[in-house]
Structure 1
Amino acid sequence: MNVLDSFSLSGRRVLLTGGSRGLGHTMAVGLVQAGARVVTVSRSGGDGADGVVTMVGDVTRLDTLESLVDEAEGRAGGTIDSVVHAAGVQHRAPAVDFPLPEWERVVRTNLTAPFALSQEVGRRQIERGIEGSHVFVGSLTSTLARPNLAAYAASKSGLLGVVRTLAAEWATSGVRVNALGPGYYRTALTEELFRDDAAREELMGRIPQGRFGRPEDLCGPLVFLTSAASSYMTGQLVMVDGGWTAM
């Protein structure tokens, strides 16, 4: 096989959460451009532009995940080959004042729901003999601390544990599990910081490449982790952060 052919996602069926806007939508489009049949699920559904198939659903409603995957398989035309967990929420507050309801919301959305969805998809892949790829979306806080993000850091650090455990358990079944670790990108989750001139300059000073991430910066690494090009990689966190974690 030509090495470039190994990056093709032609014929692959991908389920991506949180694809109605922001980084999730850009990643979904990148997967389509690489040849995948992409079904996104989000609370708003999205408009289905750029060849992306959209559906409405809430991945935090754990009792609906079986029917959600059933619907995704119907729309994708078969068993899901890859799942990409791009949905996420955040709440900023000092640890001493962090509201427990917000803690539970963040952890349920960012950690519990991705695990439960991969559990459902992975079970089907293993039973049907499908060589799958699961890509979780971590963050800088998967490996280091940032102030006022206790729940977010807990959820993203926890994801790394999930990735490694699923990778170890599912490797012999041909199901790979990895994660992307975005640095700072301008999205709805970070807009508050970007509006603060001092905070924005402080962040910029930490990035060796001297710029914030662009959504399309995630597409190449995502296609790599989803495709046969990364067939001997599992249990890894690939940072896409302009060099932040190299410092």
Structure 2
Amino acid sequence: MSAFSLSGQTALVTGANTGIGQAIAAALGRAGATVICAGRSSCAETVGMIPGSREMTLDFADPMAARDVFADEKIDILVNNAGIIRRDDAIDFTEADWDEVMDVNLKAVFFTCQAFGKAALARGTGGKIVNIASLLSFQGGIRVPSYTASKHGVAGITKLLANEWAAKGINVNAIAPGYIETNNTEALRADPVRNNAILERIPAGRWGKADDIGETAVFLSSRAANYIHGAVLNVDGGWLAR
């Protein structure tokens, strides 16, 4: 199983304070990585779960927040998980809600990847980037115009960066989570009608666990994924296969 080991690697996970980000950070730690848990709020709980980890404050309301993070420290793995969502009918959606989501979910992802890539290319040591996309990288959704646009964009820049950097030893891939049991989906799961409708659509017959995403991130960050470039891997219990 050595191909899946992350021993000796340092990983930065954004949005690591809770939910999927926390699960990804913990999984990378279990695989042997030294994990930097980044968030705009405290990641102390996550750090407490991972021996040898530490936290970093990054608020992607400033899309350039990570521009200097990679200059002075060798970071081998970047997981761009931080994201926000705003909901409203398309005819009522505000410019402020559009810009805020696009800044955090897309602009910050690109420029964080850029900063990581500059440092990795200068070192000549390569690296792994895992972006967190969405089912809405492929579907339209309802009442989430900026989120849908941003996640389509994440899939696109993942492929673009893979085209530019694959031959230079940097793997850029993405995970598209399906319906996952997190705080963000608690209301959906508590609604019997919506919960049943979702479960009926999922071939696996269950909601995903945050660890399902975490372990996939370990794979894409490991040597086992060295020949995977520009993939958007659906971890959705078969949702998109229906």
Q: If the TM-score is normalised by the length of the shorter chain, which range does it land in?
A: over 0.9
Contact 2:90 2:145 in 1 (8 A): yes
1:11 aligns with 2:8: yes
Instruction: Give the structure 2 partner of residue 65 of structure 1.
Output: 66
1:160 aligns with 2:155: yes
**Candidates 168, 178, 185, aligned match of 1:183:** 178
| Structure 2, gaps ≥5 residues long | none
Q: CA deviation at 1:171?
A: 1.2
1:123 aligns with 2:118: yes
Amino acid at match of 2:130: V
Report the 3-state secondary structure (helix = DSSP H, G, I; strand = E; otherwise coil) of the residue aligned with 1:31: helix
Per-residue CA deviations over 1:144-169 (Å, capped at 9, x if unaligned) read 12211211110101111100000000
1:171 aligns with 2:151: no
TM-score, scaled relative to structure 2: 0.94
Q: CA deviation at 1:63?
A: 4.2
Contact 2:177 2:234 in 1 (8 A): yes
203 and 42 in structure 1: CA distance in 2 versus 1, 3 angstrom threshold: same
Distance 2:61 2:96 in 1: 14
Distance 1:44 1:207 in 2: 33
1:193 aligns with 2:188: yes
Contact 1:89 1:189 in 2 (8 A): no
Aligned length: 238
Report the 3-state secondary structure (helix = DSSP H, G, I; strand = E; otherwise coil) of the residue aligned with 2:130: strand
| Structure 1, gaps ≥5 residues long | none
Deviation beyond 4 Å, 4+ runs, structure 1: none
Report the 3-state secondary structure (helix = DSSP H, G, I; strand = E; otherwise coil) of the residue aligned with 1:66: coil
Instruction: Give the structure 2 partner of residue 90 of structure 1.
Output: 85
**Candidates 18, 21, 41, aligned match of 1:44:** 41
Contact 2:101 2:147 in 1 (8 A): yes
Per-residue CA deviations over 1:4-49 (Å, capped at 9, x if unaligned) read 1110000011111000111101110000000001101101131121
Report the 3-state secondary structure (helix = DSSP H, G, I; strand = E; otherwise coil) of the residue aligned with 1:89: coil
TM-score, scaled relative to structure 1: 0.92
Distance 1:195 1:148 in 2: 20
Contact 1:15 1:41 in 2 (8 A): yes
Contact 1:135 1:177 in 2 (8 A): yes
Instruction: Give the structure 2 partner of residue 113 of structure 1.
Output: 108
